[in-house]
Amino acid sequence: MAEATIIVRNRSGLHARPAASFVRAAAGFGADVRLCNLTRDPGRTASAKSMLAVLGLGVGHGDEIRLEATGADADEAIDALLALIAGGLGEGTAEVIGE
């Protein structure tokens, strides 16, 4: 299993277009990829390959999330998704207040 945490820095979090980019990227891997919004509900995870599940986590700007992946390409999936999030999911990034 591979896992990592990251703070979401794009202004709209994982909503609409950025969530679609995230889900599309996750779906490109054979690994089972799960997402958890540590800021809002650390006990709940959702499939990173489901648009409704990702939107249901309510990930916003400044939220800390955890990615977990299991399967043959788990490490590659985590690395690619971390890079996508760090790059702002196509929206650029903004500083998180308080950092």
pLDDT in tens, 70-96: 999 999 999 999 999 999 887 766 665
Q: What is the pTM of this model?
A: 0.89
Q: What's 96's DSSP letter?
A: P
Find the helix packing angle between 16-27 and 74-86, rounded to 10°: 160
What domains can you pick out in the chain, each with its CATH number? 2-86 (3.30.1340.10)
Nearest to 8 by CA among 72, 65, 90: 65
The more confident residue out of 93 and 65 is: 65
- The catalytic residues are 15
27-61: per-residue pLDDT in tens?
Answer: 999 999 999 999 999 999 999 999 999 999 999 99
pLDDT in tens, 8-17: 998 889 998 9
Q: Which residues contact 83 (CB under 8 A, 6 or more apart)?
A: none
Residue type for 33, please?
V
